[in-house]
Amino acid sequence: ALNEIAVSRQLSKGEQVLAKGEVCHEMYFVVSGGLRGAYTVQEKDVTCWISLDGSFATSFASLVTGDLSHESIMAIEDTEVFV
C-alpha cells in the first residue's frame, strides 16, 4: 500500500509546497483536497494545472532534470497528500 512507501502530510488551504525557483524533489499523491500549479505572467497569477482526489502532482520538469521550477505548487483547500 502507498502508506508503506510514502508519508502522509496534511496541508492547509493556501499552503505552498514548492515555490517558483526552487528545485522540486517530491511527487505528491492527493488523497483528498487539491493542489494547484501556477506561475506569474506580468504580475498575474496563472493556473497551469489542478490535481484533485486520486491524482498525482509535481513540477515534472524540475523533478526529472533538477532544474529550477517555473511554477509554484499550493493547496487550494485543506488537503491530505502522500509524499
Q: What is the pLDDT of residue 3?
A: 75
DSSP conformation class of 7: -
Q: 17-64: per-residue pLDDT in tens?
A: 999 999 999 999 999 999 999 999 999 999 999 999 999 999 999 999
Query: Rounded CA gap, 41 and 38, in Å?
Result: 10
CB-based contact 77:12 (threshold 8 Å): no
Which residue is listed with cell 499523491? Answer: 29
Task: Look at residue 5 in the predicted model and tell me its pLDDT.
Answer: 87
The model's pTM: 0.91
Q: How far apart are CA 47 and CA 45, in angstroms?
A: 7
Q: What confidence score (pLDDT) does residue 17 get? A: 97
Would you say residue 15 has pLDDT above 80? Answer: yes
